[in-house]
Amino acid sequence: MDTSLFTTNNLWMMICIALVFIMHLGFSFLEIGLTRAKNTINILFKNVIIIIIGLISYTMIGFSLMYPGETFEGSWIGFKSFGLLLPENGLTASYAKGNYTYWTEFLFQAMFAATAATIVSGAVAERIKLGSFIIFSLLYVGVIYPIVGMWKWGGGFLESLGFYDFAGSTIVHSVGGWAALIAVILLGPRIGKFKKGVSGVIPGHNLPLATAGVFLLWFGWFGFNGGSVLSAEPGTTSLVLVTTCLSAAAGGLGAFIVSFLKYKENDLSMVLNGILGGLVAITAGADQMGILNSIIIGCIGGILIVFAVSWLDKLKLDDPVGAISVHLVCGIWGTLAVGIFGAKSGIDQFIHQISGVLIVGVFCCATSFILLFVLKRLIGIRVSQREEVEGLDIHEHGMQAYGDFRLNEH
């Protein structure tokens, strides 16, 4: 083994772990910025508890579900053991071609796992019961996400099928997006969102924080996609960072132009979500795209954001932060884009991509519905009208985020 190369790869992957970890701060800032001040602590609490739950549940169950070993290659499900066990070859992650340690591989994947539940957090903001959300997140991060991840990254049947998803447009983002869609349907809209059938605007209380959140997410995505190379190999890593960055910029540009043409306004929130849409869209094929293709993919992602937000409003689906538009719609688009622009583009690859999207969608919708429906019947999933109007910070946590500042909200 080349010790210097092994050390370099391991160091790069540890840096990527830190970058993906800081994305959770980005999600936190984005969500509180686009929602009302009276629910700030509740949203921050959910984002903190997701990481706690994600790490523990992924350690005890999720990692072994996602990477059960060669025995289960081509399968729908497999399981190695509870907890973490050292592989036979010591600290080397053999399934990553020996590029870095087993522990580094585990922690990198654990950072990904919590992201799926974080996506749901934004979509259900300001009206879901904290206890119900915690239970849902525990099961979704610990069981559902790893099963889907195994299908592709753990050598399961989607890998055998020929489905391609480099860093998770489907395996991570649409897994969270499908759950967010089902949760929004079962929860219903926030009080005051739709009056007499017309969608009203419930403005976020801090767009500077939302903007900071998007920049943190953009920054963290260099680790999200860059680390998915699974080594510090210069050529592929550099390409991935370039395509990721260009797609983000193109997504913001596409959302800016189309939202201005459609609404005659320079809407900052649309541009911010356009950036995220570009990032999600390129994630499935960041290692296969050239400069022009990455710009096209990102731009279309940003444009889709504008129309998806409008479609959801017409369907009376209330998503306070645009999580469904960003992670589900652009996740699907990015996955399909691999079949159009990728290295193996063509009708066969496109069919593989569609098949993967549909299979994951059906599974995630079904499991999310079952989990949330059972919770709704047993303990309820929505707070009371009084709690929602007065704010979840006071009722769920007994405190306010901004101390003595007066919150002129209704």
Predicted confidence at residue 86, as pLDDT, reads: 67
Q: Would the pLDDT of 94 be above 70?
A: no
H or E segment to which residue 83 belongs: none
| Residue 93 burial class via C-beta count within 10 angstroms: exposed 0-12, middle 13-18, buried 19 and up | buried
* List of residues 6+ apart from 408 with CB closer than 8 A: none
d(CA 369, CA 378): 14
- pTM of this prediction exceeds 0.85: yes
Predicted confidence at residue 1, as pLDDT, reads: 57
| Residue 241 burial class via C-beta count within 10 angstroms: exposed 0-12, middle 13-18, buried 19 and up | middle
- Mean per-residue pLDDT for 281-309? 97
The answer to which of 91-100, 277-286, 357-366, 372-381 has the lowest mean pLDDT is 91-100
- Rg of the chain over Cα atoms, rounded to whole angstroms, equals 20
DSSP-derived letter for residue 48 is: H
Q: Would the pLDDT of 239 be above 90?
A: yes
- Mean per-residue pLDDT for 349-353? 96
Question: Which residue spans within 110-167 are E strands per DSSP?
Answer: none
| CB-CB contact of 388 with 36 (8 Å) | no
Question: How many C-alpha atoms does 93 have within 13 Å on its Cβ side?
Answer: 22
Predicted confidence at residue 387, as pLDDT, reads: 94
| CB-CB contact of 54 with 110 (8 Å) | yes
- Mean per-residue pLDDT for 358-370? 97
The answer to which of 88-97, 167-176, 352-361 has the lowest mean pLDDT is 88-97
Predicted confidence at residue 87, as pLDDT, reads: 67
Closest to 206 in 3D by CA, of 39, 367, 361, 13: 39
| CB-CB contact of 182 with 123 (8 Å) | no
Q: Would the pLDDT of 405 be above 80?
A: no
pLDDT in tens, 212-226: 999 999 999 999 999
Instruction: Output phi, psi for 211, to 5 deg.
Output: -65, -45
Structural domains of the chain, ranges and CATH numbers in brackets: 3-397 (1.10.3430.10)
259: tokens are 């939202």
Predicted confidence at residue 410, as pLDDT, reads: 45
Predicted confidence at residue 90, as pLDDT, reads: 60
Please give the share of the chain, as a percent, with pLDDT higher than 90: 79
